[in-house]
Amino acid sequence: MKINLLALTSILGMAGAIAGAITTQKLRKWLSSLFGIATCVSGLVAAIEVLHSNHPMIFQSNKILVLSGYSLQLDRFGALFVASGAVVGIASMIFRLGYSGHGLASRTASFVLPLFVMTLLLVPAATNVTTFLFLWEIMAIASLLLVLVDHRKRPEVSNAGQWYGVMTHLGAASILIGFVLLAIYAKSQSFASMEATAHHLPSWVRTSSFFLLLIGFGSKAGLVPLHVWLPKAHPEAPGPVSALMSAAMVNLGLYGVVRVGLGILGGGPTWWWLTVMALGALSAMFGSLHSATSTDLKRLLAYSTTDNIGLMFLGVGAAGLFQSTGHQSLALIALVAALLHMAFHALFKGSLFLSASSLQQATGSRDLDSLGGLLSKMPVTGTIFLIGSLSIAALPPLCGFVSEWLLLQSMLHGLPSSNPSLAIAMPVGVGVLALTGGLTALTFVKAVGIGILGQARSKPANDAHEVRPTMWVGAGLLSAMCFLFGVAPFLVIPSVINSSKELIGTNVANPLVGGWQVGLLGNQGAIEPGLLAFLIVVFVAIIGGLRKLIQAPSVRRAEAWGCGRETQTSRMEYTATSFGEPVVRVFEDVLSPSHNLDASQLSESRYYVEAAHFHTSLDDAFERRLYRQAAAGLRWWGSNARRLPNGSIHRYLMFGMVALVVVLVALG
Amino acid sequence: MHWTLLSRLSISTLQIVGIAVGSPLLLGLMRKIRCRIEGRVGPPIAQPLIEIRKLAKRERIRPEYSSWIFTVAPIVLVATTLILVAITPIFSTGSSWSADLFAVVFLLLIGSVSVALSALDTGTAFGGMGASRAMTVGALAEPALLVALLALSVPAGSSNITTILVRSLYNPEWLVTPERLLALAAFLIVIVAESGRLPVDNPTTHLELTMIHEAMILEYSGIDLALVKLGESMRLVFMLALFGNLFIPWGIATRPGPIYLVIGMLSTAAKVVGLGTLIATVEVGMAKLRLFRVPELMAGAFVLSVLAVVSSLVVR
């Protein structure tokens, strides 16, 4: 008998949750992690099977959601998201075996973690609205609980949890309304029948449901201006959870937008996609600017997630734009580039979050200015962090290079068409891509240079030791894949093309060359990352050998030049704040930093300063100008509305009467 | 008419040797020109080569807290530059191993990132300051650079350097279109910024408040310093050669044969020397910009390159 892998994934996830809930403290960490790994393996096998065949995998049961049926159908588009989520899941669960965060060992966390992993894998397979929202909400609540596990120790955690809880539920409400709107017209809640009727819908229904769903999914993806929860919640979550959230959960926001926009609605007018591109560009720029100026390592990584999600939406927007102007093969390239970036981002962001958590566990801090000197003390974790950073900075021969290059190509080839909206969108898109690329390089030079190079900046960093092998095995798995897929992208690109064709059209000719090269057919530009990797190894070996030949490899270690000072201390090193300072100055209008200088003078003379405190902070401009204002407005509204119910029974009767009349008029 | 593997390999080798020897000489020439205009005699043209030979014999010292990054960075810088020289068409299109304009940018970035990381690895304030400034200037130069390269790729419909060169040789009317001139102007500004020349950075200064690049390599000594200096000069010459070939493609060998190759070598050398002379002459009359005026220069270059793309669509 052949086992249905989707059913197996669901069962394994639930079994893991139960095992985590009922066993002893020592056992539950192992059992829930191992069940989590098993869930991911089963999901990964399912996804690979689907990606290599033409048939979707189906599982249906009326026993769980009685009225609608628990209905899963994994097609090739969803399978890509399942595969990338499963890889991150396996790595995070291995990492968790060694992770000694106190909160994550609790009963609640062990119950919820396997469920979170399971829903991450099953959301892309849901095929009716109830199943989708059921899984989506379990995912949201599970991740919320996991963010909150350390709330007793740090007050910031509950604040982060509040932001996340509010944003995720507003998003879910928006998704619900959007789907209901479509379901009303389709007279069915299955995605397939929605897709069948989508072309006959009035345009206001199409537009409003698309934008409602864009808002809902955008808030999960961390698209600006709906990103404010992300740099709060992702850093506060315990290590493996932050990796799962930043590398896998945000992708499902992208999944939703693409599934609805290009799948269910089957594309839309140009201005939809220009909006998507604009939001993507805004997210990319805003995220990269904030990550360039952050000094908290995990906050930096969280903002960089917003940045990368922005790039993916830029690609998706370009794909929709090309499709709406009738350039099918260009749309395919853009979508392949966006999805490839999604898959690769999962790898490097997962490895970065996991290795950052290792650094945090070893030093007790995630402030860059109290790390430093860790590459020599934690060589394995340091190297994993370095590889992740170089991948995200798109340096060849690591995987980020391939996807960013392909994104650039899709925009280059979109230009010659005569459509004016393309002519403006594409160069702007390339400019955004380039600026964020440059800022990402700066950000990760800072993260590596301040975080793990140089002299240790604090005593805990000086005493740090390498973490347990399970932790670096988990993170190292992902960074090894960064290297593997960067050198040999042909291992994944065909699957990504298959998965994109599911939405763009199976009859669109494949415009990409195969083999070791990545590029477009017909001599339109190609790269050969494998050759580059080979050349880098050969040239580094030759020059290193020559250096050894010319000069004896003996190197004298001496103190660095300190302008004549006697000793060089870690206090004299450049800090993360000062590293990002030029960026803050250049983009002062966008970042609007606040400075505060308190100086107290000596009583004898005001020319002598007794003590001075300088404080500078960089709030999120959207949080301050949009959300705080909105919250203040809401509070004002609430306090005024409190005057209405004053205890008088006559007034309450009048309210009832007015409401009845309004309902009657509205229904009549 | 087809390139054999052997001829392609030998052209690549020739390019590597040519650039490795030629680039210190170009620096010497630029210094000489500058000195002559300022009324000084100046050091001999071969002075940078002599310095490199001298440095190769000096002791290597590395800062106390540095890790392996510090020792590997000079090698990575030189290696990636040599790879670029080997795979892009400089003397002849025969050396093109899927050379792509955008890939060139990312390969150059490896060198910049490794030098910046080595600077932070020293654990000194100078290193951090230089790295921070260099990465900021680099980040701001990136949009102008990539959009300029986009504008140069649009007419050929490809970002493959050989394709662009060959197609523009057959369509000389492309060469003087406004979009090309705008894009090349932006490209030249970026080259000046990326290679740390005036008005963005002063390569001869050691005044700590204004340094960018020199601050990063302050801790290097001996052969490591020689490698960094060689790598930086090769980067400049590589970018100038690429610029020269894109600006005036004539002369580059597009078919096998030693005569074509010699013509290609001579023409590339002439283009690079011409551009070097131009930069040296312009630099004499120029002061370094304040660091926070550099973004304006880069924004200007970005506007030029966006105009280039837009005009390429309007003109046709």
Tell me the pLDDT tens digit for each residue of A401-410.
999 999 998 8
**Is A438 among the domain residues?**
no
Report chain B residues whose CB lies below 8 A from the CB of A428. 306
**Is A453 among the domain residues?**
no
CA pair distance A305, A288, nearest whole angstrom? 9
**In which band, very low, low, confident or very high, does the pLDDT at A647 lie, cut at 50, 70 and 90?**
confident
Tokens, residue A250:
């945000």
Q: Looking at CA atoms only, how far is residue A501 from chain B in angstroms?
A: 24
B110/A431 CB distance under 8 A: no
Q: Looking at CA atoms only, how far is residue B153 from chain A in angstroms?
A: 8
Contact (Cβ atoms closer than 8 angstroms) between residue A335 and residue A423: no
Checking if the pLDDT of A338 tops 90, the result is: yes
**Is A373 among the domain residues?**
no
CA pair distance A584, A567, nearest whole angstrom? 31
A427/B309 CB distance under 8 A: yes
Q: What is the pLDDT of residues A246-286, one digit of tens each?
A: 999 999 999 999 999 999 998 889 999 999 999 999 999 99
Window 144-183 of B, Cβ < 8 Å to A: 145-147, 150-151, 153-154, 157-160, 163
* Nearest of B226, B275, B221, B228 to residue B248 by alpha carbon: B275
A448/B117 CB distance under 8 A: yes
Q: Looking at CA atoms only, how far is residue B4 from chain A in angstroms?
A: 18
**In which band, very low, low, confident or very high, does the pLDDT at A540 lie, cut at 50, 70 and 90?**
very high
Report chain A residues whose CB lies below 8 A from the CB of B107. 396, 532
Report chain B residues whose CB lies below 8 A from the CB of A407. none
**In which band, very low, low, confident or very high, does the pLDDT at B65 lie, cut at 50, 70 and 90?**
confident
- Average pLDDT of the segment spanning A419-445: 88
- Average pLDDT of the segment spanning A555-567: 77
* B52/A contact by beta carbon, under 8 A: no
Which one of A412, A441, A556 has the shortest CB-CB distance to B138? A441
Report chain A residues whose CB lies below 8 A from the CB of B81. none
Which one of A455, A562, A574 has the shortest CB-CB distance to B129? A574
* Nearest of B250, B274, B313, B238 to residue B23 by alpha carbon: B238
Q: Looking at CA atoms only, how far is residue A472 from chain B in angstroms?
A: 20
At A416, phi and psi to the nearest 5?
Answer: -65, -15
Checking if the pLDDT of A566 tops 80, the result is: no
* Nearest of A189, A47, A58, A199 to residue A132 by alpha carbon: A189
Checking if the pLDDT of A2 tops 70, the result is: no
Which chain B residue's Cα is nearest to A544? Answer: B75
Contact (Cβ atoms closer than 8 angstroms) between residue A190 and residue A128: yes
- Average pLDDT of the segment spanning A594-599: 82
The count of other CB atoms within 10 Å of the CB of residue A54 is 9
Q: Looking at CA atoms only, how far is residue B278 from chain A in angstroms?
A: 28
Report chain A residues whose CB lies below 8 A from the CB of B151. 427
Which one of A423, A433, A573 has the shortest CB-CB distance to B128? A573
* Nearest of A126, A173, A127, A123 to residue A143 by alpha carbon: A123
B100/A408 CB distance under 8 A: no
**Is A90 among the domain residues?**
yes
* Structural domain boundaries, residue A115: 1-183+237-251
Which chain A residue's Cα is nearest to B99? Answer: A527
**Is A389 among the domain residues?**
no
- Average pLDDT of the segment spanning B47-63: 90
Domain total of chain A: 2
CA pair distance A386, A521, nearest whole angstrom? 34
**How many interchain CB pairs under 8 A, A with B?**
273
Domain ranges of chain B: 5-315
**In which band, very low, low, confident or very high, does the pLDDT at A418 lie, cut at 50, 70 and 90?**
low
Tell me if the bond preceding B199 is cis, omega within 30° of 0.
Answer: yes
Which one of B63, B83, B109 has the shortest CB-CB distance to A395? B109
* B23/A contact by beta carbon, under 8 A: no
A415/B142 CB distance under 8 A: no
Which chain B residue's Cα is nearest to A560? Answer: B63
CA pair distance A45, A261, nearest whole angstrom? 28
A448/B125 CB distance under 8 A: no
Q: What is the pLDDT of residues A185-227, one digit of tens each?
A: 998 889 999 999 988 889 999 999 999 999 999 999 999 889 9
Which one of B63, B136, B154 has the shortest CB-CB distance to A583? B136
Tokens, residue B308:
């280039």
**In which band, very low, low, confident or very high, does the pLDDT at B97 lie, cut at 50, 70 and 90?**
confident
Sign of torsion, CA A554 A555 A557 A563? Answer: positive
- Average pLDDT of the segment spanning B15-42: 93
Contact (Cβ atoms closer than 8 angstroms) between residue A277 and residue A317: yes
Checking if the pLDDT of A155 tops 90, the result is: no
**Is A71 among the domain residues?**
yes
What burial class does residue B57 get, using C-beta atoms within 10 Å of its C-beta: 0-12 exposed, 13-18 middle, 19+ buried? exposed
Provide the β-strand partners of residue A72.
Answer: A59, A126
Q: Looking at CA atoms only, how far is residue B138 from chain A in angstroms?
A: 7
Contact (Cβ atoms closer than 8 angstroms) between residue A173 and residue A226: no
Provide the pLDDT for residue B95.
75
**Is A104 among the domain residues?**
yes
Which one of B131, B141, B159 has the shortest CB-CB distance to A445? B131
Provide the pLDDT for residue A29.
87
CA pair distance A442, B133, nearest whole angstrom? 10
Contact (Cβ atoms closer than 8 angstroms) between residue A349 and residue A308: yes
Question: Which spans in B38-67 are helix H?
Answer: 47-57
* Nearest of B50, B52, B44, B51 to residue B28 by alpha carbon: B44
* B56/A contact by beta carbon, under 8 A: yes
* B116/A contact by beta carbon, under 8 A: yes
Window 72-101 of B, Cβ < 8 Å to A: 72, 75-76, 78-80, 82-83, 86-87, 97-98, 100-101
DSSP three-state, residue A428: helix
Checking if the pLDDT of A1 tops 50, the result is: no
**In which band, very low, low, confident or very high, does the pLDDT at B125 lie, cut at 50, 70 and 90?**
confident
Contact (Cβ atoms closer than 8 angstroms) between residue A541 and residue A533: no
**Mean pLDDT, chain A, whole residue set:** 90
* B108/A contact by beta carbon, under 8 A: no
Report chain B residues whose CB lies below 8 A from the CB of A516. none
Checking if the pLDDT of B307 tops 90, the result is: no
- Average pLDDT of the segment spanning A31-44: 94
Q: What is the pLDDT of residues A599-628, one digit of tens each?
A: 888 777 777 888 888 888 888 888 888 899
At A556, phi and psi to the nearest 5?
Answer: -85, 130
- Residues in CB range of B283: below 8 A, 6 or more apart: B34, B197, B198
**Is A52 among the domain residues?**
yes
